[in-house]
Structure 1
């Protein structure tokens, strides 16, 4: 239901407008070419009628993406680390079998090879063969620079001998003990060995508004594994205020270059993504180190999702 105001004449106009979630969703709807059936004003308010259809992927009945706003997530995931201006030729994607992060990575001509590792070959197959999905990921899996590995990420990392300039960690949320082990200190230490000395790792880190302690715990665990970290977030209407951990072997300086790829959802000043309100900051004190001998991230996830 829309927001209603019984006494609009007593309110400032900006008080009656939508919040950041509403604005982000509306902006992406209009940018995505959906039909605006009406735009106008009454004596009380601005009115728009929009017809929108989306593509959604569900795994185990959990929404993975909506085509209405997935670009907000994937552009933040990929273009923010690339905008640091590091030389990037090799990229590793863990998860991301839908090919949407891959789509953004392949926009960079400097990238010479991408290894994508996903445990579920069926998801990758659908991303290649279902026409609407292949159109959405812009036929990413057919790019000659891409090698898809259908296997467990832990096993891939165990035997991997390469080093990568960028690592994109797109694991599922830590809803159970097995998934929590993907965010363990021991695995993060192996990631450290796979990253080039000047490389950047980015890990999806859950919704700040729903699971803030999980978010900060992933960052603290990366630090305990030897990384320097920076945190950022962006509003994705389908999911909330979503967080990312950026990690590197040395201190990260947030000096961004012009993004050398097409995008449409990122703010003009990327540094604004790295600002957090005190409401979010206070949860840092509750962060834990998630390790194989003391897996607790899934318990915290459940507690915060009550």
Structure 2
């Protein structure tokens, strides 16, 4: 996976289920036999893989090599509305209680239905809410902090997310202690995220100039490849956030993209080490007891489509 996460997403009710009218996305431990013995998980063979990339569908444990590889050490879930509810401008609200547990990574986010302007991040990404399951003593901020971001740029090495990224701390509580509503309001003129009320905004982006200009991207990559503005032909300042997007809810575990920084707060793996997943699995006696409430519990999801021709909600 792009972020180097440690979970295998499944389609069974162990990891995604409905109980008492609420949706639960819950990470669980991988079957130890698949970790300790040579094995291959091939979701292409049984047709259950939802990705087009073989690397997302096939994993193996090989105990004979020097740096032993293992299958994903945990299982979790990810659901989306791509085949159902999509919007271009409007509002989305998800009422949820976030998980409690070290190295959990809950997210509520949106991706474009089509890569109209090219592969990620050229066609955009809207992160309504991301957080961490670690407690409030965690150095980067645990489940007392949520963040929102937009990802946009001509390529992964020129993702301007850092220009549109804001955090919000909970007041005298955590986002795992009760339900909160995480929302986004989005039009051709602006996009903002909020918690519980539109007055408590997290990220606000005003599309008052072309995003390409705001990104201040270099003329070329380090290898000399010239960067082409694939957004200019639309004439809209908010491109690429001018297409239909769908909603995604998931709970990731771990990762190697820096969301959990190396050597802080007892992180049991190093991102660039070939044994990251194995090191994480071997440290479960430390982190698993902290998973006191590992599920993201969702009580409500509402999506409003802005009426055609309306510039304001």
Normalising by structure 1, what TM-score?
0.24
Q: Which has the higher contact order (CA 8 A, sep 6+)?
A: 2
Higher strand fraction: Structure 1 or Structure 2? 2
Normalising by structure 2, what TM-score?
0.23
